[in-house]
């Protein structure tokens, strides 16, 4: 009798949540599944700023992977992958184990590019997002213990803006020495302007909100100088939160897989490696060579159904489906105080109701994978 085809899902990212849900609903005879994940709980990026602002608990923003894998009859391996050998389709884990598959699907996200360097001791990176959720909890204690500390968020894209405003909101709620401090201690450090990939109207809305909340925007061509010397030169100690662009994990760039111009795993429109048949990749780790692929959770989420279908089809030798990246999509930028700016293409709107709309969408997403 033919052995079952072993599909190894590497990383519990947004796309793999959907793959697991689908295999749970419709098991495939002749297929054996394993999930390798650093943590037993997958954080949902959309709710991370709300977690920082204090609106959500850690439980609320995480999807436990054990029930999902159980329903999909998938072996759960909680360990960090440290090496991938694309030729042998085998993965080395931090505990020394090696797991090989007939098919490998990668959804391990990306890491914040802090390559501009920093001399600050108190420094956290927004990605990997699972590390950030833990680092933030630790950092809160540091900030609470020292009311003179200032916080600089480096990177003025959507994640940087959301984090700066969420941190500012959280700090305003913190009791310091019996009282609350009224002045803002947060700055946002970026290139020439905030939200460079958004339309002018959205940038204006967010700039006004930042000013109103006392979050200073420091622009400059050399982020490193501002982040290290410029801010410490102002006479304050700073905590640095890095929310700049992303780069691929080092172990993935050494796998032997073809890479795109930025070093991410080069995939075709079927989300299959350009160099190795039977290896798929989605989310931030993937570089779609036939089209633009912004590093956003919404893209990883939309790739989930296509990836799930293609793993099934590959296992049964059928023709693969194509993923078409959306040209525009809805962005909801939360501002920490239960307020949000929504935009889609050139259209934009803001308000408290917009935050409740985002809250409803985000909670629905997490609930879908918890049920
Ligand atoms: C503050 C913030 C807010 C954001 N808000 C939004 C938003 O509102 N909308 C949006 O579209 N995007 C948002 N993003 C972007 C979003 O976080 C990413 O694009 C998204 O998380 C990418 O999803 P993914 O599935 O590729 O990987 P991830 O969600 O990063 O998941 C990767 C998973 O792989 C696991 N993993 C990683 N390395 C290994 C390893 N070596 N071995 C085993 N397991 C591993 C991790 O534990 C993790 O569970 C935000 C980002 C930040 C920082």
Please give the domain boundaries of the chain with CATH numbers for all domains.
5-110+248-315 (3.50.50.60), 112-245+329-370 (3.50.50.100)
Residue with CA nearest ligand 1 atom 20:
297
What lies within 8 Å, CB to CB, of 249 at 6+ separation is 108, 110, 111, 285
- Residues in contact with ligand 1 (CB, 6 Å cut-off): 11-15, 36-39, 42, 45-46, 48-49, 80-81, 107-109, 126-130, 159, 162-163, 243, 283-285, 295-298, 300
Torsion (CA) 222, 226, 229, 233 in degrees, nearest 10: 150
Q: Are 311 and 7 in contact (CB under 8 A)?
A: yes
State the distance from the centre of ligand 1 to the C-alpha of 354, rounded, in angstroms. 23
Q: Identify the pLDDT of residue 360.
A: 98
Nearest CA to 248 among 107, 111, 81, 92?
Answer: 111
At 115 the pLDDT is 54
Give all strands of the β-sheet with 150-154 in edge-to-edge order. Answer: 123-125, 238-242, 150-154, 186-190, 216-219
Asked if 173 and 180 count as a contact pair (C-beta separation under 8 A), the reply is yes
Q: What is the pLDDT of residue 235?
A: 55
What count of Cα atoms within 13 Å lies in the side-chain half-sphere of residue 37? 27
From first to last of the 371 residues of the chain, give the pLDDT tens digit. 467 999 999 999 999 999 999 999 999 999 999 999 999 999 999 999 999 999 999 999 999 999 999 999 999 999 999 999 999 999 999 999 999 999 999 999 998 876 555 444 566 888 888 888 888 888 888 777 777 778 889 899 999 999 999 999 998 887 664 555 556 688 898 888 899 989 999 999 999 999 999 998 988 655 555 555 555 545 556 778 889 888 999 999 999 999 999 999 999 999 999 999 999 999 999 999 887 778 889 999 999 999 999 999 999 999 999 999 888 889 999 999 999 999 999 999 999 999 999 999 999 999 999 97
**CA 265 – CA 289 distance, rounded (Å):** 9
End-to-end Cα distance, the chain: 36
Could you identify the atom of ligand 1 that is nearest to the CA of residue 163? 1
313 is written with which tokens? 């089809």
Contacts of 316 (CB under 8 A, 6+ apart): 28, 30
* pLDDT at residue 225 in the model: 55
Asked if 316 and 310 touch (Cβ cutoff 8 Å), the reply is no
For ligand 1, mutation pick of 36, 45, 246, 285 (most atoms within 8 Å of CB): 45
The Cα 141–Cα 291 span in angstroms is 43
Q: Tell me which residue has tokens 């009859």.
A: 73
pLDDT for 222: 56
Total residues found in the chain within this entry = 371
Model pLDDT, residue 120: 47
CA of 94 to the centre of ligand 1 (A): 20
- Is residue 46 within 8 Å of residue 365, measured between CB atoms? yes
Ligand 1: which of 20, 198, 286, 297 to mutate, most ligand atoms within 8 Å of CB?
Answer: 297
**Of ligand 1's atoms, which has the minimum distance to the CA of residue 251?**
41
- Which of 11, 16, 287 is the pocket-test mutation for ligand 1 (most atoms within 8 Å of CB)? 11
Q: Which residues contact 70 (CB under 8 A, 6 or more apart)?
A: 76
Q: Give the position of tokens 């780790």.
A: 285
- What backbone phi and psi angles, to 5 degrees, belong to 176? -115, 120
Question: Position of tokens 């350009």?
Answer: 274
* Ligand 1 pocket test target in 8, 10, 13, 153 with most atoms within 8 Å of CB: 13
Query: Which tokens in the block code for residue 58?
Result: 């850690």
């Amino acid at each position: 009798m033919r052995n079952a085809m072993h599909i190894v899902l590497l990383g519990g990212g947004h796309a793999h949540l959907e793959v697991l849900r689908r295999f749970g609903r419709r098991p495939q005879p002749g297929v054996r599944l394993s999930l390798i994940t650093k943590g037993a709980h997958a954080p949902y990026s959309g709710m991370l700023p709300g977690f920082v602002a204090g609106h959500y608990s850690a439980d609320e923003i995480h999807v436990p992977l054990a029930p999902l894998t159980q329903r999909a009859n998938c072996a759960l391996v909680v360990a960090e992958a440290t090496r991938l050998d694309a030729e042998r389709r085998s993965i080395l884990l931090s505990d020394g184990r090696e797991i090989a598959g007939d098919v490998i699907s990668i959804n391990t996200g990306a890491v914040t590019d802090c390559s501009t360097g920093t001399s600050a001791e108190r420094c956290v990176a927004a990605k990997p997002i699972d590390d950030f959720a833990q680092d933030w909890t630790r950092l809160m204690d540091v900030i609470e213990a020292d009311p003179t500390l200032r916080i600089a968020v480096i990177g003025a894209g959507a994640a940087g803006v959301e984090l700066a405003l969420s941190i500012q909101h959280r700090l305003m709620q913190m009791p310091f020495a019996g009282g609350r401090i009224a002045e803002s201690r947060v700055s946002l450090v970026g290139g020439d302007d905030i939200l460079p990939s958004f339309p002018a109207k959205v940038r204006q809305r967010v700039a006004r909100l930042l000013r109103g909340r006392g979050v200073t925007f420091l622009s400059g061509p050399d982020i490193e100088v501002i982040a290290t010397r410029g801010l410490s030169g102002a006479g304050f100690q700073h905590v640095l939160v890095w929310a700049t662009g992303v780069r691929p994990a080092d172990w993935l760039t050494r796998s032997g897989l073809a890479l795109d111009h930025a070093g991410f795993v080069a995939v075709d429109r079927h989300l299959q490696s350009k160099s190795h048949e039977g290896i798929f990749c989605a989310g931030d780790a993937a570089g779609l060579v036939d089209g633009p692929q912004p590093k956003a959770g919404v893209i990883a989420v939309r790739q989930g159904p296509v990836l799930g279908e293609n793993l099934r089809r590959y296992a049964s030798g059928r023709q693969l489906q194509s993923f078409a990246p959306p040209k525009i999509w809805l962005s909801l930028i939360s501002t920490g105080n239960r307020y949000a700016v929504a935009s889609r293409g050139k259209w934009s709107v803001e308000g408290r109701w917009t935050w409740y709309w985002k809250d409803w969408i985000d909670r629905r997403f997490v609930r879908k994978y918890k049920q």
